[in-house]
Amino acid sequence: MDAISVIRTKRDRGALSPEQIDWVIDAYTRGEVADEQMSALAMAILLNGMDRTEIARWTAAMIASGERMDFSSLSRPTADKHSTGGVGDKITLPLAPLVAACGAAVPQLSGRGLGHTGGTLDKLESIPGWRALLSNEEMLRVLDTTGAVICAAGDGLAPADKKLYALRDVTGTVEAIPLIASSIMSKKIAEGTGSLVLDVKVGSGAFMKNIEDARELASTMVGLGTDHGVRTVALLTDMSTPLGLTAGNALEVRESVEVLAGGGPADVVELTLALAREMLDAAGVRDADPAKALADGSAMDVWRRMIAAQGGDPDAALPVARERHVITAPASGVLTRLDAYQVGVAAWRLGAGRARKEDPVQAGAGVELHAKPGDEVTAGAPLMTLHTDTPEKFDYALRSLEGSFGIAAPGAAHEATPVVLERIA
């Protein structure tokens, strides 16, 4: 085998053989295939695609590059969730303890934000003392004692994906659906969960801008999960407007705690419950009501135990940014549009996100929304509040918000977009 012949096969629209796939993934992980060669192959895959057999074998080779976790010692079934990323997407935070409170175990391996999409670990690290890095033994212990754990993936889990993901990020090949699907599913299958629910975002604030691409990605991932014996379901959900009323790390933690306390924005509660019901059904837990677990405080109890088990203080005050800037409504009327991507870029520019994986983030930075599409607004009233420790960033963030919203005449009709658009199983 040699890298050039593998590249030429895909460049010329051929199907890679199982032997070619196994060899190139293993050789790249070991450093025998150079970054520039794998970059060329990734671009060929982006342009020419892969069939289901190729994607399944590519995913299997990624899994085989590292270890596989085993949760068979747990007394309850496991269910996990993965989101393809969005703006204000704090759903994992209330969802994991909620599903655990209903009887399933949730081994949630999460990541950090990059660009305009937020990262679950960045959000949780705004809680004083909380640790993302756990050994496999620590992860199993937290999962066994609390029912849920949210942590970073260890270095031994699908190392080929970690290396390839970093390469795709700097070579313009992130959007390749076969590589997105195999990246997500190799980690989730290697993680060892018994069932998986995928939240595939659609809209301006998501990687998938249109429903056709989102449907293709979701179907590909559901197929991969099925092929590897993991019961997998996908929901296509709207990301044209930010989820909830906050985009930023500590801001989103605060909103998540509101949901666990029985309040919070309606769209966040709706999606949390929809995903919880899918996870419980996939895990075979069908006699629990997640809405009741939110209302009676049992989900909040699991949250507090989970945070404390990872070194965090659930009672500690969350960080608050030193500076604020209020954007007011220029006219009275009905807010008809609020672009998720532009709000996400503003939060990123304020310090809530990063351009490179090495960049630090500000815990208190972000955007707070005072209205969502369909709400009546009054001229001069607050529409958004920008938060940052570095006020020189305000102008940069404000430029990204130009044209980000629309206001129609008072009383104008507004048709709301559903939170859940489709289900694929």
The residues annotated with a catalytic role in the active site are 82, 161, 168, 183, 187
Q: Are 279 and 113 in contact (CB under 8 A)?
A: no
- The one-letter code for the residue type at 99 is V
Is-contact 312 128, C-beta < 8 A? yes
Distance CA 36, CA 5 (A): 14
- H/E stretch holding 55 reads helix 52-64
CA–CA distance, 172 with 168 (Å, rounded to integer): 6
Q: 């069932």: which residue's tokens?
A: 195
Distance CA 136, CA 68 (A): 11
Q: CA torsion, points 417, 176, 232, 304, in degrees to nearest 10?
A: -70
Report how far Cα 241 is from the mean position of its chain's Cα atoms.
16
Q: Angle at Cα 379 formed by Cα 377 and Cα 382, nearest 5°?
A: 65
